[in-house]
Every structure is written in structure tokens, then in C-alpha cells.
Amino acid sequence: MSKTTTNSELNDISADDLALWSAVIVIIGDLVALLAVLKARSEKQ
């Protein structure tokens, strides 16, 4: 059985896709925060 998709279904973002992109953004933000902490720590010494 083949599933037919319409054009509107291809443009919709699924909940899984949204969760994945959210996780990627959070990880990037955490890495930037870690780099900021490490830089501030090295400037203190």
C-alpha cells in the first residue's frame, strides 16, 4: 500500500521535527554559554 502525500502535507512540520530542531538549538546555546564561561574564567587568571 502506498501513501499519497499532498503538497500541504509536505509543508507541515511534524512534532518530531520541531523537537529535533529545538534540541539542536538548545545544544548550540549551551556550547556558546560554555565557551563564554571558559573565556571569562581564563581572563580572571
- Which residue would you say has higher pLDDT here, 44 or 41? 41
Does the pTM surpass 0.95? The reply is: no
How many domains does the chain divide into?
A: 1
Q: What confidence category does residue 1 fall into, taking pLDDT thresholds of 50, 70 and 90?
A: low
What residue numbers bound the domain in which 37 lies? 11-44
Up-side HSE of residue 1: CA atoms within 13 Å toward CB? 1
Nine-digit cell string for 30: 549551551
Q: Is residue 1 part of a domain?
A: no
Q: What is the mean pLDDT of residues 20-39?
A: 97
Residue 8 gets which letter from DSSP?
A: H
5-27, pLDDT tens digit by residue? 666 666 788 999 999 999 999 99
Residue 3 in domain: no
Tell me the torsion sign for CA atoms 22, 27, 32, 36: positive
Asked whether residue 4 is domain-assigned, the answer is no
Domain annotation covers residue 6: no
35 closest CA partner among 10, 43, 13, 23:
43
